[in-house]
Amino acid sequence: MGLSTEEIMQASLDLVGWEEVPDDSTVYVPGEGLETALVGIDLGSAEIQLAHREGFDLALAHHPAGGTARTAFTGVLDRGIELMTDHGVPENEAEAALSDLRDRLELGAHSANYRHDPSIAELLDQPYMNVHLAPDELGRRRFVEVAERMDDDASVGEFCGTLGGEIRELREAETDVELRLGEAGNDLGEVAVYHAAGTNGGASVARTFFEHGIDTVLYIHVGPGEASELREEFEGEGKNLVVTGHIASDAIGLNEYVDELESRGLSCTTVSGCGIGRD
């Protein structure tokens, strides 16, 4: 009885209707007959040892922890191009907006110790995997659903309030939905939800959206330098950058995924941010 790591990965694909495992998700140590899992947004060597000590059959992380999920991570950035072209950005401009980010991530992945956490799991013979893009896609769809239900004359402040009021993970988080660019009274206008694309697009992606008529961009996180750059360039022009909060936003899709795994017979214990807003 129990599930295999392959079946657990397949469950994530089934939820979003995908056929192939994304580049940012992988099984580090496979296992079969798994009945219990420690699930968290970040599970590294310490949590692997915790899972092993406490007798969990599986350590299931959200963020990539090594292996090909780190070395090939930039493959998922192509999803960002799709999100941009869906809003009318020409493909060549979308590529250009992501070029610096792609370069930085490739350099970082090349220098990272991609064997650290997986090797600990191998030593302990502890089944270990991470699932990243598919749960993020579930969260993205939830944000889009809220955006599409807003009235045509809604303000961006009303949008922030609706997100924080309707989505339990955001409502119960210690972080708030923040407006990093723009004023609450600004028109919401057309909303581009940039999530489930590996990571946030920084100033360059938001700028490209704004230059092609998008009024509001939603990220789940953004660096302080990037936010400052956007404020210097677009403050007072009616453009808005909504930031929903990294961990709370990751929990949206992860909670749905955990519910699905439990419906398939895997008992999940949530830590490290997973489980925010979940009964």
- In this predicted model, what pLDDT tens digit does every residue of 142-175 receive, in sequence order? 999 999 999 999 999 999 999 999 999 999 999 9
Residue 117 has a pLDDT of 98
So what CATH class is 5-132+250-270? alpha beta
Residue 35 to residues 56, 107, 260: CA-CA distances in angstroms? 8, 38, 14
Average pLDDT score, the chain: 98
Q: Contact 97/226 with Cβ under 8 angstroms?
A: no
Kindly state the average pLDDT of the residues 202-223.
98
The domain spans of the chain are: 5-132+250-270, 137-248
Our CA dihedral for 165, 171, 176, 182, rounded to 10 degrees, sits at -20
Phi, psi (degrees; rounded to nearest 5) at 233: -90, -35
- Tokens found for residue 155: 């303000």
pLDDT of residue 1: 83
Supply the pLDDT for residue 57.
98
- Note if the pTM is more than 0.95: yes
Predicted confidence (pLDDT) at residue 204 exceeds the cutoff of 90: yes
According to CATH, the topology of domain 137-248 is: 3.40.1390
- Mean pLDDT calculated for residue range 184-205: 98
pLDDT value at position 250?
98
Tokens 């302080």 -> residue: 224
Q: Is there a shared CATH topology between the 5-132+250-270 domain and the 137-248 domain?
A: yes
Above pLDDT 70, what percent of the chain? 100
Task: Give me the DSSP letters along 66-135.
Answer: SHHHHHTGGGGGHHHHHHHHTTT--HHHHHHHHHHHHHHHHHHHHHS-TTHHHHHHHHHT--EEE--HHH
pLDDT of residue 187: 98
Provide the pLDDT for residue 150: 98
pLDDT digits (tens, 9 = 90+) for 120-151: 999 999 999 999 999 999 999 999 999 999 99
Under a CB-based contact definition with an 8 Å cutoff, are residues 248 and 62 in contact? no
Residues 214, 87 contacting (CB under 8 angstroms): yes
The answer on pLDDT for 27 being more than 90 is: yes
The pLDDT of residue 279 is 78
Mean pLDDT of 217-245: 97
Adjacent-strand bridge partners of 34: 3
